Amino acid sequence: MSVRTSRKRRGGALTKSPSFRHGTIRSAGGRGAAPSEREAPTPAVTRRKRRRLLLIGSCGAVLALAVGLILTAMSGSIVFFRTPSEIGLQGVAAGSRLRLGGLVQEGSIRRGPDQTVDFAVTDTKASVPVRYKGLLPDLFREGQGVVAEGVLQPGGMFRADTVLAKHDETYMPREVAGALKAQGHWQGGPQAN
């Protein structure tokens, strides 16, 4: 098959396009041939296709592995915020790691040996008993906003490993401030939306 290029005028521009000489014989693998009449691809073409598919498959596998590793790493660091009412209504499973937010219930603080402190966190609808071992923040007191991070134990006791006392919305997580405002127990400054 011989191919020569000729110039054709298309829309005022000169373009090169292949044209076949008269008298040349077209192969059965050319356009318009039935699938059964087409020639088998050459080994070089087959190798290129195989290499391309292998590259695409490898990239897809690496991408899937990276996404899997990222999701696995993130699942261990995600901690959900809950109020005492939400824990009771949603039936949070024992052993779940979460943040518990609300107010320190009046008359609930009990200090034990070895810096162990028991208290209750309430949102005035429900309360959850909390046990914490360590030094409490200076702002921690009854009736004050608090966020405790830890694990919910079987039996409903919340074992906190971090306790944050909050005094106004400036330093309080939006979830805690929003929950207190929604229940009408916000004691901070002006009610912002």
* Residue 132 annotated as part of some ligand binding site: no
How many whole angstroms from its chain centre is CA 128? 28
* Residue 185 annotated as part of some ligand binding site: no
CA gap 98, 92 in Å, rounded: 10
Instruction: State the burial class of residue 100 (Cβ atoms within 10 Å of its Cβ: 0-12, 13-18, 19+).
Output: buried
Binding positions for heme are: 167, 171
Binding positions are: 167, 171
